[in-house]
Amino acid sequence: MSQISFRHKERGVALVVVLLFLVAITGISVWTARQSMLAEGMARNQMDQEAARQAAESALRDAERDIDNAPLGFLMTNASCQRNTTTVDTDGINPSSFTSDCAQGLCLKDDASYFLTDWAAATAVNSAVAEPWWPVGKGGLWNDNEDDKPGRNPVSSDHCDTFTGGVPLGTYTGVPPMRGVAKQPEYLIEVFQRKHVRINIAETQVTSTGEKANQWSTMYRITARGFGYSQRTQVVLQSVFFP
């Protein structure tokens, strides 16, 4: 009787050991699967972020073309809209075209107001302390309502003269829309006039629109916003551009 009892105990221990091995193997398998899914998700997010960054870069270059070719916009037959074709300013967009509501993507904010900007206090309602390129929830002027902007697919001239906020890629240059992104990248342009900007070695001429060292020169700050495969993925880039 004692030998039979002893064999039953041995079988019970073996069962426990086997179950422990199964639990361990299952745990390792689950951990490995989760690590694989995490790595895949990180790779996907990185690709999404890179797509948004490249889209923002494209919008920066598009804004530079927009500024440089402002008087020639009517020659770009593939463009949705055109700038004021009567302008004679060949050194960029006329500063008088910029407004406080960022009409057609051209934003004007006086220098004194920039000193009053306050990120913590800025809201969609309290936009007086916000800069134009800030998020809409912080009083920015991007205007996320696509129905108020010129169409891109297909190209449409609707709202060319009435829209405010970010300019969709190619609106004034005719470059084709980007594929694979949730939304076309867009840009805002702010204008500044400064003296003694990028004086040359002889200190007799500036390299932007001014001809003399003490002459006012016009420069533009471009803010571009790119979107990835998801509209929630956004990258914002800025550059200062001299025509």
CB contact set of 60 (below 8 Å; sequence gap of 6+): 187, 222, 224, 237, 239
First-residue to last-residue Cα distance in the chain:
102
Please tell me the total number of residues recorded for the chain in this structure: 243
Which pLDDT value is given to residue 51?
Answer: 92
CB 185 within 8 A of CB 54: no
Name the phi and psi angles at 156, rounded to 5. -140, 145
Spans in the chain with pLDDT lower than 70? 1-12, 39-41, 70-77, 84-91, 152-157, 195-216
Q: Over the Cα atoms of the chain, what is R_g? A: 29
Using CB atoms within 10 Å of the CB of residue 97, give its burial: 0 to 12 exposed, 13 to 18 middle, 19+ buried: middle
DSSP 8-state symbol, 105: T
d(CA 186, CA 165): 9
CB contact set of 160 (below 8 Å; sequence gap of 6+): 80, 81, 82, 104, 150, 171
* Three-state secondary-structure class, residue 193: strand
Quote the pTM value: 0.74
Encoded amino acid at 53, one letter = R
Which pLDDT value is given to residue 74?
Answer: 43
d(CA 146, CA 24): 54
Which pLDDT value is given to residue 135?
Answer: 93
Which pLDDT value is given to residue 27?
Answer: 83
